[in-house]
């Protein structure tokens, strides 16, 4: 079994804030993640039967679309991106018999050392979010690295040192930052928008947060029925057109 690191004062807790109010379910993050990571830290992300009857493969980020109860009895589609939440209390780490699954003290990222992973899959059974991905070819477990090979990468311009899923998101629904710092942009977003933990009741204390859908309304004056009989021009229009115009 693997221990969690001692918490360090001032340590960062890096993670994602995902806005369900703007996620349109386009899969951009999922595919760009796959593209980056298939030659990234956990390379490769294999594809099985890619042109055959049962196309499947390893993805660190998957998008699910659910229909929820909407207003007026009309269903509302909610798009839900799912990836590792880099929990504070990750059972996937503590169940690991070899120490391959580990949580980093300095930034809270949960990683797998595939050199010592024996492919027992205990971690994927322990993860309630289904965030772990087994590489059938290499027989090892893989997962979201929070783009560990991008976020500190000094060969990239500073603005690009963010996870691939965040950089590519067309509706800007994904945000990356330090959730341990209450002054960070992501922490403020969570505070302002009432960000939530996924299945908080399970006690895994995920780092990633989800922002719930909002609804914007426009207040109007009470709508009155038109002043004139149907078929004729309304008094309001006649009054308007009667005003002097200047061409």
Partner 1 sequence: MPEDRIAYHAPVGDEVAHTTCYMCACRCGIKVHLKDGKLRYIEGNRDHPINRGVLCAKGSAGIMSVTSPARLRAPLKRVGPRGAGEFEEIGWDEAMAIATARLAGIRASDPHRLAFFTGRDQSQSLTGHFARMFGTMNFAAHGGFCSVNMAAAGLYSVGGAFWEFGEPDWNHAKLFLLFGVAEDHDSNPIKLGLAKLKERGAKIVSVNPVRTGYSAIADEFVGITPGTDGLFIMALIHCLLAEGAVDTAFLVRYTNAHHLVIDVPGEADHGLFARDAEGAALAFDRKAGALARADATGTDPALLGTFTLPDGRRARPSFALLAERYAAAEYAPEAVEARCGIAATTIRRLAAEIAEIAFRQPVTIEQAWTDTDGRRHETMTGRPVAMHAMRGISAHSNGFHTCRALHVLQMLIGAVDTPGSWRYKSPHPKPIPPGPGPAGRAHDGRGALTGNVLGFPTSPEDLLVDDAGEPLRLDRAFSWEAPLGIHGMMHMAIAEAHAAGRARVDTLFLYMANMAWNSAMNPGETTRMLTDRDADGEYRIPFVIVADAFESETVAYADLVLPDTTYLERYDCISLLDRPIGSAHGPADAIRVPVLKPDRDVRPFQDVLIDLAGRLGLPDFAEAPGKPLYSSYADYMVRHQRKPGVGPLAGFRGADGTVFGRGEPNPEQISRYIANKGFARYDLPLEQLYYKHANRAYLTGAKEMGLIDDDSQIVLNLYSEHLQKFRLAAEGHGAVRPPERLRARVARFMDPLPIWYEPIEQTMTDMKQFPLHAITQRPMSMYHSWGSHNAWLRQIHSENRLYVHRDLAAAQGLEDDDWVEVVSRTGRLKCQIRIMDGVNPHTVWTWNAIGRRSGAVALAQDAPEAVRGFLLNHVISEYLPAGDDGARLSNSDPVTGQAAWFDLTVRLEPCEPETIAETQPRMAPVALTTKGAGQ
Q: Which of residues 119-148 bind partner 1 (CB under 8 A)?
A: 148
Q: Which of 22, 94, 129, 181 binds partner 1 (CB under 8 A)?
A: 22
**Residues from 35 through 64 that contact partner 1 (CB under 8 A):** 35-36, 39, 41, 47, 50-57, 59
User: What is the C-alpha to C-alpha distance for residues 29 and 26, in angstroms, rounded to an integer?
Assistant: 8
Supply 53's token pair: 């009857």
Number of chain positions touching partner 1 (CB under 8 A) = 89
Residues of this chain, 150-189, that bind partner 1 according to CB under 8 A: 152-156, 159-160, 164, 167-173
- Tell the smallest beta-carbon distance from residue 103 to partner 1 (Å): 12
Of residues 79 and 207, the one with the C-beta less far from partner 1: 79
Considering beta carbons, is residue 114 or 128 the nearer one to partner 1? Answer: 114
Q: Which stretch binds partner 1 (CB under 8 A): 10-18, 77-85, 130-138, 196-204?
A: 77-85
| Comparison of 35 and 136: residue with beta carbon closer to partner 1 | 35
Residue 175 in contact with residue 189, Cβ under 8 Å? Answer: yes
Q: Which of 64, 76, 137, 185 binds partner 1 (CB under 8 A)?
A: 76
List the beta strands (DSSP E) in the chain. Answer: 14-19, 47-48, 56-57, 62-68, 76-82, 101-103, 110-112, 133-135, 140-142, 174-178, 209-211
Question: What's the closest the beta carbon of residue 95 comes to partner 1, in angstroms?
Answer: 17
Handedness of CA 194, 198, 199, 200 (dihedral sign): negative
Which residues, numbered 179-238, are part of the site for partner 1 (CB under 8 A)?
Answer: 213-221, 223, 226-228, 230-234, 236-238
Which one of residues 4, 24, 105, 202 is an interface residue with partner 1 (CB under 8 A)? 24
How many Å apart are CA 143 and CA 111, to the nearest integer? Answer: 7
Binding mask 82-101 for partner 1 (x = CB under 8 A): -----------------x--
Would you state the structure tokens that stand for residue 173, as one six-digit string? 């629904």
Residues 6+ apart with CB under 8 A from 84: 60, 110, 127, 129, 131, 132, 143, 144, 146, 208
DSSP result, 44-84 = ---EESTTSSS-EE--S-EEEEEEE--GGG--EEEEEEE--
Query: Considering the complex, what minimum distance in angstroms separates the CB of residue 120 from partner 1?
Result: 16
Q: Strands 174-178, 140-142: parallel, antiparallel or unpaired by DSSP?
A: unpaired
């Amino acid at each position: 079994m693997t221990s969690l690191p001692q918490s360090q004062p001032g340590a960062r807790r890096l993670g994602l804030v995902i806005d369900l109010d703007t996620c349109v379910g386009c899969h951009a993050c999922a595919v760009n993640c796959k593209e980056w990571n298939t030659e990234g830290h956990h390379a490769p992300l294999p594809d099985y039967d890619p042109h055959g009857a049962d196309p499947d493969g390893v993805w660190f980020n998957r998008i699910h679309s659910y229909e929820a109860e909407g207003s007026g009895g009309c269903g509302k589609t909610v798009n839900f991106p799912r990836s590792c939440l880099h929990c504070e209390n990750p059972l996937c780490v503590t169940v690991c018999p070899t120490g391959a699954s580990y949580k980093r003290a300095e930034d809270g990222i949960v990683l797998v050392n595939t050199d010592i992973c024996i492919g027992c899959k205990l971690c994927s059974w322990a993860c309630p979010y289904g965030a772990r991905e087994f590489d059938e070819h290499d027989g090892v477990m893989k997962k979201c690295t929070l783009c560990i090979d991008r976020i500190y990468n000094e060969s990239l311009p500073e603005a690009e040192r963010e996870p691939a899923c965040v950089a590519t998101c067309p509706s800007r629904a994904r945000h990356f930052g330090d959730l341990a710092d209450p002054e960070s942009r992501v922490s403020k977003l969570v505070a302002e928008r009432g960000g939530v933990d996924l299945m908080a009741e399970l006690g895994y204390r995920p780092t990633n947060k989800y922002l719930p859908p909002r609804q914007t309304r426009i207040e109007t004056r009470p709508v009155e029925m038109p002043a004139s009989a149907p078929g004729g021009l309304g008094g309001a229009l006649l009054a308007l057109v009667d005003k002097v115009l200047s061409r």
